Amino acid sequence: MSQPTAAMLVIGDEILSGRTRDANAHLLAQKMTGIGIRLVEIRVVPDVRETIVAAVRELSARVTYLFTSGGIGPTHDDITADAVAEAFGAAIGVRDDARAILESYYKPGELNEARLRMARIPDGARLIDNPLSHAPGFVIGNCHVMAGVPAIFAVMLEGILPGLAGGPPILSHSFRVMMPEGELAGPLGTVAAAHPQVSIGCYPFFRLTAGATLILRGTDPEALARAADDMRAMLAARTDHIEETPPGAVTENAE
């Protein structure tokens, strides 16, 4: 079974200007890893129609699933829906199903022309539910168009996850040692070369003394366990202080 792939397209001047620190790509990355989909690229682009169209075309052709965040609100700079429609050669207009959702949410008279823009959905697209603020996202082709506001992005993503075809979950096994990575690098390369099925990364950190976390990733539990055995032996010959995190545990890196 080959592993499905994904790309994330973050749309918004506010990320590129440094005003806002994007949170959506990191959440997507964690969720994709959890269901065995390999995220192969994150790209952040400005609110420029040609740029969005080109990025959607290029990325959607290259991956199993494309996800976008941002640019689907009611204001003049919200151009994602139109750009994605153009990328897929689809017509776009206010759609009855999306309008009905907005009508049921807003009080009479509140659904003005600007808000009605949020019911612009490309022909043939499937709506993505938004239990928080109701304006829907949509799926066209392999492209999942979601909101930029992190809480809304998160709730839309939770809604679509069960419908994605994941691969074997990506398991992870990590070791944390208080040794500089420069002293581990040689024997680490040997362990990595002996286990081509497992992706092994080394992420140094700095405390009062130097340390490193070694992460082993793969989809085959037995290959992963064998690589972890070799790694443990290699490390034990060099240090007494090893913290080991077997598959399944989630860690947050603040380093």
Cβ at position 159, least distance to its own copies in Å: 18
Cβ at position 19, least distance to its own copies in Å: 6
Cβ at position 125, least distance to its own copies in Å: 21
Question: Judged by CB under 8 A, how many residues of this single chain contact its own copies?
Answer: 70
Cβ at position 9, least distance to its own copies in Å: 10
**Contacts for 169 with CB less than 8 Å, ≥ 6 apart:** 34, 35, 36, 219
Q: Using CA atoms, how far apart are residues 109 and 126, in angstroms rounded to an integer?
A: 27
Stretch that binds its own copies, among 8-16, 87-95, 137-145, 157-165 (CB under 8 A): 8-16
Q: Which is nearer to its own copies, 140 or 148 (CB)?
A: 148
Instruction: State which of residues 57, 126, 217, 226 lies at the interface with its own copies (CB under 8 A).
Output: 217
Please report, as residue ranges, which positions from 36 to 95 form the binding site for its own copies (by CB under 8 A).
Answer: 38-47, 73-77
The yes or no reply on residue 3 touching its own copies (CB under 8 A) is no
The yes or no reply on residue 167 touching its own copies (CB under 8 A) is no
Cβ at position 20, least distance to its own copies in Å: 5
Give the chain as a 3 state SS string. Answer: CCCCEEEEEEECHHHHCCCCCCCHHHHHHHHHHHCCCEEEEEEEECCCHHHHHHHHHHHHHHCCEEEEECCCCCCCCCCHHHHHHHHCCCCEEECHHHHHHHHHHCCCCCCCHHHHHHHEEECCCEEECCCCCCCCEEEECCEEEECCCHHHHHHHHHHHHHHCCCCCCCEEEEEEECCCHHHHHHHHHHHHHHCCCCEEEEEEEECCCEEEEEEEEECCHHHHHHHHHHHHHHHHCCCCCEEEECCCCCCCCCC
Instruction: State which of residues 124, 131, 163, 189 lies at the interface with its own copies (CB under 8 A).
Output: 189
The yes or no reply on residue 151 touching its own copies (CB under 8 A) is yes
Q: Are 199 and 216 spatial neighbours (Cβ–Cβ below 8 Å)? A: yes
Q: Which is nearer to its own copies, 76 or 162 (CB)?
A: 76
The yes or no reply on residue 117 touching its own copies (CB under 8 A) is yes
The yes or no reply on residue 230 touching its own copies (CB under 8 A) is no
Residues near its own copies (CB under 8 A): 10, 13-22, 25-33, 38-47, 73-77, 110, 112-115, 117-118, 133, 149, 151, 170, 172, 181-186, 188-189, 192-193, 199-206, 215, 217, 251, 253, 255
